[in-house]
Amino acid sequence: MKKTLKQLKAEVDAISKEKIKLLDEIEKIESIKIIPKIKAKYEGKFWVFDNGTCKEDRWPLYSYCHSVIDQREGIFDSFEIRDQGVRELNIRHQSYFFLCEKEITKEEYMKAMIDFQNMAMSLNHWA
């Protein structure tokens, strides 16, 4: 029996949907094994990422990881001072682990946070 183009497309769509479903199941199974390792690596730790738009325009992005969501993302507090003093502070937001470039101490993080707060106060003073 010869199949029509429409029938073949429907079969391909069904196979594609099943493939996606199976890949999701594989990822869940792999997550069960890897999540404890990811938690040990990131949760409760402080990080800095060399952020920027080009080689000449760089600034540090500081982060603290509260918890792991999955293999790629966690819940973070983060802050940065960039572009001539523009400040950005995000509390308990979802972000990616690739931004955890270099682990730093709590003291380094707190010093940067104090600098961030001082910069914010001085900018608000002149506003």
Assess contact for 88 and 102: CB atoms under 8 A.
Answer: no
Assess contact for 63 and 74: CB atoms under 8 A.
Answer: no
- Dihedrals phi, psi of 50, to nearest 5 degrees: -80, 95
Neighbour-count burial for 49-85, b at 16+ CB within 10 Å, e otherwise: bebeeeeeeeebbbbbbeebeeeeebbbbbbbbbeee
Q: Which two tokens stand for residue 119?
A: 């910069």
The predicted model scores a pTM of 0.72
Q: Write the pLDDT tens digit of every residue in 64-97.
A: 999 999 889 999 999 998 766 677 899 999 999 9
Q: Write the pLDDT tens digit of every residue in 52-71.
A: 888 888 889 999 999 999 88
